[in-house]
Amino acid sequence: MTTSRRDFLHASAAGFGSALGLGLVPHELAFDAPAIPRAQAPMRILVLGGTRFLGVAQVNYALARGHVVTLFNRGRTNTHLFPEVEKLVGDRNDDLTALAGRQWDVVIDNSASVPRWVRQSAGMLRNAANQYIYVSSLSVIADNSIIGSDESIEVAELDDPTVEEITGQTYGGMKALSERMAQAAFGDRATVVRPGLIVGPMDNSDRFTYWPVRIARGGEVMAPGEPTDHVQIVDVRDLGSWMIHLAERRHMGVYNATGPEAPLTMAEMLYGIRAATSANVSFTWVNADFLQEHEVRPWGHMPTWIPPREGMEGFSRVDCSKAIREGLTFRPLADTARDTILWWDSLPEERRAQPRAGLPAEREAEVLAAWHAANG
């Protein structure tokens, strides 16, 4: 029996949450490129969401390109962001009236995990926009034992397609059904983007942030599994800007969207992060069996890492070549690590005292001591 991506993450990362991005990041940190050229043909873009993590990256880049952006959300999160942008207030669950009678060139749907929400918004907007970009997830993959899964892979199915409770067992199927809702409404004008682990400034899940912060602290760092275990991540700014280019070029279809372009191992990721710091660091590799014995969970305690076994051999080896052919690029890992540390250091002390993923320092020391005692 294969294990679904979302089932595994739910079971192994309980208590750390899956919400993406609740904080703020200065614009100059969110986009530190020397210059962003203006688009030749400015578009009208409606973003459903837009004030958290990926949405902030998309809106920042779209505005820099000269596009006219409208946000639709409940008006509760980061309301001070983007004062120059039109903001429509409503609720995906039961109030879309603010969208009625309007026209846009493209809709970007960041905020829907419930299929009914997508059915309602895409159905309402099918004649109000030329393209509907739905942000799905690689959690739709039904079988993570397959290495090199592309966009044609079988996706998860819900036992009850009316379910609206998001759990580890339903999330992947709900995202897959949401994809179909967008495609049913917009047909060949629908674009589905399936990100994996999105990282960088403003990621309040701390799932990648743990590693730059931990490595910057220096000392002996516990590294999980084998150095050759694979990892896949994408900087939120790279993903956000690429999605705006998808809209500009009117690229439709389904895209797996994670990175980097070349395979990345756990060792390469950790050493790449170390390149962004001046800390005196050593890595001690502790195998998966020992970590399991000492109740150190993959993904939660040891973020970004899943041992490639027991149906998860292909979890971090998804084929993203289609997105790369369509222009998805990746900044250097050291840049992502540096900017993540800068963002983390800008947070209030009480927030930094309560990381939402990773292993507490005292627990890491205990497990390392046990490992050294067992291995001489």
Q: CA-CA distances (angstroms) from residue 297 to 91, 242, 250, 358, 361?
A: 36, 33, 41, 9, 15
Dihedral of CA atoms 293, 6, 239, 331 in degrees, nearest 10, equals 20
145: closest CA among 319, 309, 320? 309
Q: For residue 35, what pLDDT band results from cuts at 50, 70 and 90?
A: confident
Q: Given this model, what pLDDT does residue 1 score?
A: 42
Q: CA gyration radius for the chain? A: 20
Is-contact 18 9, C-beta < 8 A? yes
Answer yes or no: is pLDDT of 162 > 80.
Answer: yes
- Write out pLDDT tens, residues 55-112: 999 999 999 999 999 999 999 999 999 999 999 999 999 999 999 999 999 999 998 9
Q: Phi first, then psi: what are they for 291, rounded to 5°?
A: -65, -40
* pLDDT confidence band for 376 (50 / 70 / 90): confident
Q: What is the mean pLDDT of residues 290-297?
A: 98
Write the class of the CATH domain 5-375.
Answer: alpha beta
Mean pLDDT value of segment 119-148: 98
Dist. CA 355–CA 4, nearest whole Å: 26
Token output for 305: 């890492």
Region 132-154 average pLDDT: 98
* The pair of three-digit structure tokens given for residue 148, joined into one six-digit string: 């090199």
Determine the average pLDDT of the residues in 309-317.
97
319-347 pLDDT per residue, tens: 999 999 999 999 999 999 999 999 999 99
Q: What percent of the chain has pLDDT over 90?
A: 90
User: Exposed/middle/buried for 231, CB within 10 Å: 0-12, 13-18, 19+?
Assistant: buried
For residue 310, what are the contacts with CB-CB under 8 A and spacing of at least 6? 3
